[in-house]
Amino acid sequence: MKKYIIGAFIGSCLMFSIQAAADSWTGKEVQGTFPVYVNGKELDVPAVVIDGNSFLPVRKISESVNYNVNFDDKKKVVRLDNIYSRLTLEELQINLKQSEKTITSRKGNIGLWKLEIEKGNLTEEAKQTKLQRIGMEEELIRTMESNKESIIQTIMEKQNETQQ
């Protein structure tokens, strides 16, 4: 479901803004910029406001939700494709198992680091280093869980295709 909402959102942004923007951006000034967050993580490219319309960085948003972005120069079309859609059902299941295994392992690491901190045998510098590593690992786990959800969604779609 998340995939369809994101796809519809990006598609509508492209459909309504690119054609109009190509003709109307000449001589226009950016009225403002604002950060864009996807799954709680800020993108390094901001959205811009021109004439009261928001324009989002399609490539950065798409790639952050596991979509490839391709531009067909002949047709002047932007295509967004789920990166997992080209894999077979078997390959997807292998990726899912590996993803689950890696997430479990990383969560175990975080648990061990938290125990080390709780014991209180670390210097303040070592404690801060562990806390930073925990933060980075938690962010990575969130990304991996999002990828896992994309894999599950693609598996379900492929299973539905084979049943039809």
Per residue in 7-49, pLDDT (tens digit) is 555 555 554 444 444 555 567 788 888 888 887 788 888 888 8
Instruction: Report pTM.
Output: 0.59
Confidence of residue 110 (pLDDT cuts 50, 70, 90): very high
User: Cβ-count burial of 21 within 10 angstroms (0-12 exposed, 13-18 middle, 19+ buried)?
Assistant: middle
Helix (H) or strand (E) holding 52: none
Per-residue pLDDT, 19: 47
How far, in Å, CA of 93 to CA of 87, rounded? 10
Query: Of 20, 159, 27, which is closest to residue 96 (Cα–Cα)?
Result: 159
Per-residue pLDDT, 106: 96
Q: Which amino acid is at 89?
A: L
Tokens at 129, concatenated: 């280093």
Tokens at 148, concatenated: 């896992």
